Amino acid sequence: DSGVTQTPKHLITATGQRVTLRCSPRSGDLSVYWYQQSLDQGLQFLIQYYNGEERAKGNILERFSAQQFPDLHSELNLSSLELGDSALYFCASSGMGNTDTQYFGPGTRLTVL
């Protein structure tokens, strides 16, 4: 158990809908990262938050957004969902240093029908 929690574990929804994925980082970690894992693209970095502020952006679509709250949990919002958004979404957390290990949560499996 990495100490990172994600809910829900599975999510099934329809095209055009909006969903919210939730992540709680390890105790004491200020950085939260979101990654998408699909069969054809592998693990792709989406976005990073540090202590409530956006720190880095990767291959995140404009239909997707994220935020980190004062209690350090983070939410990833996916809107106008398309079939191609079906994937595993992972959250990771780390400490402040730039070699601090990123610990991954168990993921949320999103299926868009």
Partner 1 sequence: GESVGLHLPTLSVQEGDNSIINCAYSNSASDYFIWYKQESGKGPQFIIDIRSNMDKRQGQRVTVLLNKTVKHLSLQIAATQPGDSAVYFCAEKERAAGNKLTFGGGTRVLVKP
- Which residues of this chain interact with partner 1, rule CB under 8 A? 2, 4, 31, 33, 35, 37, 39, 42-45, 48, 55-56, 58, 88, 90, 92, 94, 98-107, 109
Q: How far is the CB of 45 from partner 1 (least distance, A)?
A: 5
**Of the two residues 7 and 80, which places its CB atom closer to partner 1 in the complex?**
7
Q: How far is the CB of 110 from partner 1 (least distance, A)?
A: 11
- What is the rounded CA–CA span in Å between residue 47 and residue 76? 9
Maximal CA-CA distance, the chain: 40
Q: How far is the CB of 106 from partner 1 (least distance, A)?
A: 5
**Of the two residues 15 and 111, which places its CB atom closer to partner 1 in the complex?**
111
**Of the two residues 38 and 79, which places its CB atom closer to partner 1 in the complex?**
38
* Element spanning 35, H or E: strand 31-38
User: Token pair for residue 68?
Assistant: 């980190």
Residues 6+ apart with CB under 8 A from 38: 44, 84, 86, 87, 88
- What is the rounded CA–CA span in Å between residue 7 and residue 68? 15
- What is the rounded CA–CA span in Å between residue 31 and residue 10? 24
Q: How far is the CB of 34 from partner 1 (least distance, A)?
A: 11
**Of the two residues 13 and 60, which places its CB atom closer to partner 1 in the complex?**
60
